[in-house]
Amino acid sequence: MTSHRSIPARLAALVGAGAVVALVAGCGAPAALPTPAPPIPPPGTAALPTPAPPIPPPGTAALTGPDVGAWLDGLVPAGLARSGIAGAAVTVVHDGQVIATRGYGFADSGSGGPGPDSTGSDSTGPRPVDPDRTLFRVGSVSKVFTATTVLQLVEQGRIDLDADVGRYLDVAIPRSFDAPITMRNLLTHTAGFEERIKGLISYGESPVNLRDAVAVDPPEQVFAPGTVPAYSNYGYALAGYIAERVSGTPFETLVQRDVLARAGMTSSTFAQPLPPELRDRLSHGYDTASNPAGPFETVGPAPAGALSATATDMARFLQTELGGTGRPPLLTPQTLASMRAPALDASTLGTLADGPRMALGLFDESRNGHRIVGHGGDTGYFHAHLQMYPDDRTGVFVALNSTGRGPTDTLELRESLLDGFADRYFPAPPAPPAPTAPTASEHAAMAQGSYESSRSLYSTFLSAMGVTGQTTVTARPDGTVLVAPGPGTAYPAVYREVRPWVWQEVGGQRTLTMRADDDRVTAIGYQSAFTLLRAEPGRAAGVALPVLLSSAAVLLVALLAWPVGAVNRRRHRLPAPASLGRLGDLARLPTRIATAAAVLALAGWTTAIATIAGLQEFPDVVVRVLQVAQWTALAGVAPAAVLLIASVRHRAGRGRVLGAALVLLALVGVAWFGTMFGLFSASVSY
């Protein structure tokens, strides 16, 4: 358990720890697990992060408790202080032993929560993270446990990985293709479902009905099964519901009994809200360490992300998975091997199969030539990652209870820890770089263009989110490609083709694979479960955004100019605009109504998307109002055209003709954008 210490005491402890590390590194003898590092002081007090030990040359760092502990004590507190993250827990196992379990910072800053639905307890004093007692929400790391539960049922012959899942369901699921949807597809994110946000996370403690989560307003199937990796929480909700159906046991009870209990995870649960004996041990969740605690997050598709666990329990799971503890395994060796192996091949993925592929519930996160499988997870406040090195019998788990000051703070801290761990203890052997493939320049030219994520919404108004966050691939004269932003990062990255359709990050270890149709690349695979799909010309941000912004600007100026002009004429006693004939005069009012409707729709859609992107509910009735406004704006194209023709015929003047033409073009632009991005969809789903 962590404890408070004065700064001088910390420095003394650091000197002592350094001596122990030096001694152990020199003789190679094992040592006892060091005392967990002290937490970061609460907001408003001074902090003196311990400097991280220097990264040694490859092959010199000993994977021992003292070295790992000292390295973590230097890295994590400094990262928390820099990013404004309140607390963290880390555990490392190796050869069946827990060699480090650490808690840093606070589970409760002492500022109190927002009410009875807040996470954690109502204590008034700071509560440090205790890796043995403090529970963290682990988000999508839960999917590893769901996959394990399903594979136990596969072993029992109650689920067939390659049979259509319809045989196990009592609800209809969306289907747009004849190919079967299999459990293998669900566990590898290749069932073809679009993204769905509504109901993913709600705030406050409320019970969850898993059947409703899969049956009510399901997402559309937009890709043929097995062909396009597209990360899907809905797919894992289905997998968990199937496990519930075939076992006859509620999912939370099933995974508790057959996975958590068997792994010795006595302080972990999928239950929402948490059981009374665990509720007060749950960490608060924060935006930053200086913000008030957020409310409890209820995950709608529970099998996709509802697990709450301590770092110590996660260490027990890693030990059980990696062996060497004497605890009975959760899966047979054959099933465990298949769970960690690529689960799909080129027969459906094509050349996307030449890079990292999903295993059954696990991502291929290999680094430095070492096989690594793992899974990350995020809720609104909590962020976690689990990695296993099956061949090295090593595992790492890290959890954070805050998002941090910057949008990528938690990602960068997790990457620095996980990649730093791999580079320190499992460095890459010296090897010459792979030669550039002779097809590099040709394939780079075929790849150039704009791409959208396969993890998107296609059938609803949230298709408009596709105009933001697009990725641009630019072919460079030397045969490399510039990818902006680089997949899995917020920064541009350069990739070099090392085998046909396989691209390696220059100066890094990320890998892309490409799939081409005819003379252009149509799909780029990355990080096992994600795909970039070439944007249609009209959906490319470089085209759509200028049209949208210029149309919005014209309509807003026109909407303001009409009343300003009327006031100006009245003030200066100017004559009213000349008549444009019967049709022209009749067209004025509907054109202005359409202009106002278009501005209302665009402002409303922007608000809706921003609200929903923050995992907040947006009223269906307001969506309906925006849909009516969008159609009203479309209907205004005809009177706007009549107004322009009348202005020309009656020689209304260059300014009025130009204004009418711009309004018509702007209404057409808004209509075109709405058509390309689903704003005319009758659905209120998201």
Q: Which of the listed CATH numbers 3.40.710.10, 3.30.70.2190, 3.30.1330.10, 3.40.47.10 matches domain 137-368+392-425?
A: 3.40.710.10
Strand partners, 150: none
Question: What is the pLDDT averaged over residues 109-134?
Answer: 68
How far is residue 225's CA from residue 163's CA, in Å, rounded to a whole number? Answer: 12
What does the pLDDT look like over 397-418, one tens digit per residue? 999 999 999 989 999 999 999 9
pLDDT at 12: 33
Structure-token pair, residue 518 = 């005819």
* Residue closest to 534 by CA, chosen among 474, 476, 470, 490: 470
Host H or E run for residue 531: strand 530-534
What does the pLDDT look like over 159-191, one tens digit per residue? 999 999 999 999 999 999 999 999 999 999 999
pLDDT at 672: 95
Strand partners, 118: 295
What does the pLDDT look like over 640-657, one tens digit per residue? 999 999 888 888 788 889
pLDDT at 39: 35
Where residue 60 falls among pLDDT bands split at 50, 70, 90? Answer: low
DSSP at 27? H
Torsion-angle region of residue 185: left (phi > 0), alpha (psi -120 to 50) or beta?
A: alpha
Cβ density class 644-670: b for 16+ within 10 Å, e for less: bbbbeeeebeeebbebbbbbbbbbbbb
Residue 1's contacts (CB-CB under 8 Å, 6 or more residues apart) are: 36, 103, 128, 130, 132, 133
Please state whether beta strands 201-203 and 297-299 pair in parallel, antiparallel, or not at all (unpaired): antiparallel
pLDDT at 72: 98
Evaluated on CA atoms 59, 60, 61, 62, the torsion sign reads positive
How far is residue 640's CA from residue 589's CA, in Å, rounded to a whole number? Answer: 10
DSSP at 108? E
Q: Alpha-carbon dihedral of residues 185, 189, 191, 195, nearest 10 degrees?
A: 160
Assess whether pLDDT exceeds 80 at residue 42.
Answer: no
pLDDT at 52: 46
How far is residue 272's CA from residue 255's CA, in Å, rounded to a whole number? Answer: 14
Residue 178's contacts (CB-CB under 8 Å, 6 or more residues apart) are: none
pLDDT at 631: 96
pLDDT at 31: 31
Q: Which one is predicted more confidently, 637 or 125? A: 637
Mean pLDDT of the chain: 88
- DSSP labels, 368-379: TTB--EEEEEE-
* Beta strand extents in 310-382 (DSSP E only): 363-364, 373-378
Asked whether 118 and 286 are in contact (CB, 8 A), the reply is no
Structure-token pair, residue 611 = 């609200």
Assess whether pLDDT exceeds 80 at residue 495.
Answer: yes
Assess whether pLDDT exceeds 50 at residue 41.
Answer: no
Where residue 43 falls among pLDDT bands split at 50, 70, 90? Answer: very low
Assess whether pLDDT exceeds 60 at residue 18.
Answer: no
pLDDT at 124: 58
What does the pLDDT look like over 408-452, one tens digit per residue? 999 999 999 999 999 999 999 888 889 999 999 999 999 999 999
pLDDT at 15: 29
Assess whether pLDDT exceeds 80 at residue 157.
Answer: yes
Where residue 111 falls among pLDDT bands split at 50, 70, 90? Answer: low
Q: Which of 199-203, 299-303, 351-355 is least confident? A: 199-203
Host H or E run for residue 457: none
Where residue 112 falls among pLDDT bands split at 50, 70, 90? Answer: low
Question: What is the pLDDT averaged over residues 466-474?
Answer: 92
Structure-token pair, residue 42 = 């609460």
How far is residue 45's CA from residue 24's CA, in Å, rounded to a whole number? Answer: 35
pLDDT at 466: 86
Structure-token pair, residue 289 = 């360490």
Question: What is the pLDDT averaged over residues 260-265?
Answer: 96
What does the pLDDT look like over 239-258, one tens digit per residue? 999 999 999 999 999 999 99
What's the burial of 209, exposed, middle or buried (CB within 10 Å: 0-12/13-18/19+)? exposed
pLDDT at 205: 82
Please state whether beta strands 502-505 and 511-517 pair in parallel, antiparallel, or not at all (unpaired): antiparallel
Assess whether pLDDT exceeds 50 at residue 98.
Answer: yes
Assess whether pLDDT exceeds 70 at residue 13.
Answer: no
Asked whether 444 and 479 are in contact (CB, 8 A), the reply is yes
Assess whether pLDDT exceeds 60 at residue 660.
Answer: yes
How far is residue 631's CA from residue 650's CA, in Å, rounded to a whole number? Answer: 30
pLDDT at 492: 96
How far is residue 19's CA from residue 92's CA, in Å, rounded to a whole number? Answer: 22
The owner of tokens 């949208």 is 548
Asked whether 301 and 186 are in contact (CB, 8 A), the reply is no
Assess whether pLDDT exceeds 90 at residue 87.
Answer: yes
pLDDT at 577: 75
